[in-house]
Amino acid sequence: MRTVVMSEMTWPEYEQALKDNPVVFIPTGAVEQHGPHLPMGVDYMLPMAIARDVAENVGGIVAAPVTYGYKSMPRSGGGPFFPGSTGVDGHTLSMVVRDIIRELVRHGVRRICVLDGNYENLWFLNEGIDLAMREVGDKGVRVMCLQHWEFLTEETLNKIFPDGYPGIELEHAAVLETSLMQHYYPDTVLNDLLPDNKPAGAPCYDVWPARREWVPAEGSLVSAAAATAEKGAVMAQQYREDMSAAIEKEFYGSDS
Ligand code: ZN
């Protein structure tokens, strides 16, 4: 195969590739601020790169990404304050995912993996998948849905965060995402602008209208200063190996 990326294929190439009943990845994410040092497409760019890596390993295809995602929340994405954080309604995201799955299935896809990079998306993705499953009926379609950081083991997290993992909500535009971007997309990271701010000081609840003072001025919810491409490579290797293993288990294992 010339490429595993669907939108880089011609239709005859795609038709040919589908004959092997490959896993088709749907990368999902968001367009939102990621601090002063990262591009605003991080949340779909990372799933795109990870999916390409895993697809090459398991003989899969990467569908075009769902670039827009659910709205940035102050405690996990910095909220709506930053120019460029461009969210869609949860219902819209669910409908887009439902429609894409239905269209893939119409052309013969039976194995689908939704690979997400935006914390706030999860339940709306689940909803879209569930509605699609209801719609496509009994065609033997199987769908997996995952958020990439869930694959990081304690052992890996100890390597990446020797002083302790702050948790995924605070890890917005910080060490985890910055290191992965330095690994997959080194040219897009403004390394001399890595923010070194204190952790966001929000309480354990949300309010509307959102409070600007809950979010650090930089937009990163905790320091990104310890990010390195080497850490990104460690995580990327784990993703490639463990996601491939999960794909094998769910789509090609004896109980699938
Ligand atoms: Zn992000």
Q: Is residue 113 part of a domain?
A: yes
What pLDDT, in 10s, does the model give residues 195-253?
Answer: 999 998 899 999 999 999 999 999 999 999 999 999 999 999 999 999 999 999 999 98
Looking at every residue in the chain, the average pLDDT score rounds to 96
Interval between CA 21 and ligand 1 midpoint (Å):
31
Backbone φ/ψ region at 35: left (φ over 0), alpha (ψ -120 to 50), beta: left
Average pLDDT rounded to a whole number, residues 121-149: 97
Assess if residue 186 is contained within a domain: yes
Q: Model-level pTM?
A: 0.96
Indicate whether 1 belongs to any domain: no
- Mean pLDDT across the stretch 9-26? 98
CA of 143 to the centre of ligand 1 (A): 23
Report yes or no: 24 and 247 within 8 Å, Cβ to Cβ. no
Distance 38 CA to ligand 1 centre (A): 10
Neighbours of ion ligand 1 (CB under 5 A): 42-43
Give residue 253's pLDDT. 85
Residue 190 lies in a domain: yes
Look at the chain and report how many structural domains it folds into: 1
Domain that holds residue 108: 6-252
Query: At 14, which CATH number?
Result: 3.40.50.10310
